[in-house]
């Protein structure tokens, strides 16, 4: 007599056990790849600056690279007393209607490399980005991988 009762309790709990296992396993299967952090302007200060300037058009880093006219490479500090540093610095900036860099800021990267990379990017010039036949100010972000050794 006890045997059928035990089977009946198991049968009654089986749907709940199945539901619980599905709920616990589902998030693992539904997880997507981590979001790519490059080509995203993530600096809150930079976004505030864009709103102040009325810049609402973003272009990809590949588009920005295709518009580059003059590029200056970063001059990195080196010497016996300097630590060896390499890494990727993400710079967010505006390209003005006349192709000049405005409001460049480092979004991420090694602190020792940010200042030289910013100084170099501020000297870059671009072809103006055209929107409906008119030059327009756009925003972008670029990643630059540099090393001082």
- 85-144 residue pLDDT tens: 889 999 999 999 999 999 999 988 888 889 999 999 999 999 999 888 899 999 999 999
Give me the sign of the Cα torsion angle 23, 28, 29, 33: positive
d(CA 89, CA 106): 7
Query: What are 131's two structure tokens?
Result: 């929107």
d(CA 135, CA 97): 5
d(CA 130, CA 116): 30
Interior angle at CA 23, CA 21 and CA 27, nearest 5: 115
Whole-model pTM: value is 0.66
């Amino acid at each position: 007599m006890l045997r059928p009762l035990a089977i009946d309790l198991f049968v009654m709990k089986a749907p709940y056990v199945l539901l619980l296992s599905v709920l616990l396993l589902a998030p693992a299967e539904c997880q997507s790849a981590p979001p790519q952090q490059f080509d995203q302007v993530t600096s809150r200060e930079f976004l505030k600056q864009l709103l102040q300037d009325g810049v609402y058009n973003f272009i990809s880093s590949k588009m920005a690279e295709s518009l580059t006219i003059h590029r200056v490479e970063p001059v990195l500090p080196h010497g016996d007393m300097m630590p060896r540093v390499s890494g990727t610095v993400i710079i967010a900036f505006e390209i003005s209607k006349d192709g000049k860099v405005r409001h460049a800021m480092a979004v991420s990267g090694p602190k020792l490399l940010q200042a030289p990379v910013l100084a170099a990017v501020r000297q870059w010039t671009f072809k103006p980005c055209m929107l409906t036949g008119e030059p327009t100010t756009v925003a972008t972000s670029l990643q630059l991988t540099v090393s001082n050794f």
